[in-house]
Amino acid sequence: MGQVTQKYDVLVVGGGNAALCAAISARRAGASVLVLEAAPKFYRGGNTRHTRNMRCAHDAATDTLSGPYPEDEFWDDLSRVTEGHTDEALARLMISQSKEILDWMPQQGVRFQPSLGGTLSLGRTNSFFLGGGRAMLNTLYRTAESLRVAIQYEAEVIDLELDAGMFLSATVRRGEERSTVRAATLVAAAGGFEANIEWLKTYWGEAADNFLIRGSPYNRGTLLRLLLDRGVGEIGDPTQCHAVAIDARAPRFDGGIITRLDCVIFGIVVNKHAQRFYDEGEDIWPKRYAIWGRLVAAQPDQIAYMVFDASVLTLFMPSLYPPVQAASMRELAEKLGLDPAALETTVGRFNAAVRPGTFDHSILDDCRTDGIDPPKSHWARRIERAPFYAYPVRPGITFTYLGTRVNREARMLMRDGRPAANMFAAGEIMAGNVLGRGYAAGIGMTIGSVFGRIAGREAAAHARN
């Protein structure tokens, strides 16, 4: 064991939006603050690096928001996407406090902009960070540094010393070096465990080897595991994660948002046996976007292929990797490594089942199939105009739902329900309290900022006493 460093009022473990909001808020309340970020400086901030907006309630349009988003509407949206898997009191607290965040973030230097091109549907509800999540993160770091918040990178907390719900010290690994950090309070803001493949395997088995992790490889859940093992109450389904279908050619980690493919509705999706397995026209974005990761995870070898033709190539956002292209369906199958006869049969049967209709991808239109299983309920058009295209897709894991239970002060609750003496949590590590299932764009940043700010304030108040 290495040296014992200076004792801080507040130790923040993590380096993303929630961690920085907590650190800034605690520091502004007069506390001395140390931030320990496990990642190197470039990769600091976990999944915040890949975000682009946050969802905050507001009563009137602003320079960057096209109209009001009342608290009740936010609550309706949240209860719908979570299908009731949310703590209403905490959720309503978060929604109410999110209003202040719209002013608080700019006070920390963060700049908002109107919604990005192609995201008009979020222009009223979501505030976009100018330059994206890393720009926002850089700003928060600059602000924290100017407030003399101490920040260490490549500093992973690998052990915690607790005494009956009371945080005493943390063991920190920096390279080969081990040290002990003491602090009056702990704010846990170190994200989920989506990048910990071994942990994912305990629920998903070997299939997890074929999962791609959309965010930072540093979200290993080390701190979450330590807290749960030391008696902190657990929330959220440990087996569940947010998964979308992303380009199979994406890197194993950190491909971010740009590996997404949102062209399911424009063609058909087949598995490695060239068989369709789900209604591609079931629902409109964002629901269809969020179910396909799970659907592909359930297919053999966790791989699928989005197949479409030249008539729709330019109807969706340009992709990071070009689609596989071929002059005929047979050739496409060969390029994809699929059985050509099987793919031709699948496409032929699909084409024969397509009924006439008026195509409109912005609504649930009347283009559908008849007589095949699974059906394609909307946007069904024959795949017949060469060249033919395909994207190989795999499950892309965004975040996990398992977390630490907290109360209105962002204070962790122990397994027996008692509040922890001096431990708080913010961000993805406690998101399961309000987001037990599903997702709504920008809500992760809202959870991080609101509970980060509360956690920092409460931790500073506790440290003073």
Residues that bind another protein (CB under 8 A): 42, 49-50, 52, 111, 113-114, 116-118, 120, 128-135, 138, 142, 248-251, 254-259, 314-322, 324, 335-337, 392
**Amino acid present at 271:** N
CB-nearer residue toward another protein: 80 or 252 = 252
The minimum distance between CB 375 and another protein, in angstroms, equals 27
The minimum distance between CB 146 and another protein, in angstroms, equals 10
CB-nearer residue toward another protein: 50 or 220 = 50
CB-nearer residue toward another protein: 69 or 129 = 129
The minimum distance between CB 189 and another protein, in angstroms, equals 19
Reading the block at residue 131, the tokens are 């330059």
As a whole number of angstroms, the distance between CA 196 and CA 428 comes to: 15
The minimum distance between CB 204 and another protein, in angstroms, equals 21
CB-nearer residue toward another protein: 122 or 431 = 122
The minimum distance between CB 275 and another protein, in angstroms, equals 19
Nearest 5 degrees, angle CA 116-CA 430-CA 412?
A: 145
The minimum distance between CB 252 and another protein, in angstroms, equals 8
CB-nearer residue toward another protein: 52 or 453 = 52
What's the 3-state SS for the chain?
A: CCCECCCEEEEEECCCHHHHHHHHHHHHCCCCEEEECCCCHHHCCHHHHHCCEEECCECCCCCCCCCCECHHHHHHHHHHHHCCCCCHHHHHHHHHHHHHHHHHHHHCCCCEECCCCCCHHHCCCEEEECCCHHHHHHHHHHHHHHCCCEEECCCEEEEEEEECCEEEEEEEEECCEEEEEEEEEEEECCCCCCCCHHHHHHHHHHHHHHCEECCCCCCCCHHHHHHHHCCECEECCCCCEEEEEEECCCCCECCHHHHECCCHHHCEEEECCCCECCCCCCCCCCHHHHHHHHHHHCCHHHCEEEEEEHHHCCCCCCCCCCCEEECCHHHHHHHHCCCHHHHHHHHHHHHHHECCCCCCCCCCCCCCECCCCCCCCCCCCCCCCCCEEEEEEEEEEEEECCEECECCCCEEEECCCCEEEEEEECHHHHHHHCCCCCCCCCHHHHHHHHHHHHHHHHHHHHHHC
CB-nearer residue toward another protein: 79 or 138 = 138
CB-nearer residue toward another protein: 99 or 330 = 330
Radius of gyration of the chain measured on its C-alpha atoms: 24
The minimum distance between CB 52 and another protein, in angstroms, equals 5
The minimum distance between CB 85 and another protein, in angstroms, equals 30
CB-nearer residue toward another protein: 257 or 421 = 257
The minimum distance between CB 7 and another protein, in angstroms, equals 30
The minimum distance between CB 319 and another protein, in angstroms, equals 6
CB-nearer residue toward another protein: 291 or 320 = 320
CB-nearer residue toward another protein: 116 or 372 = 116
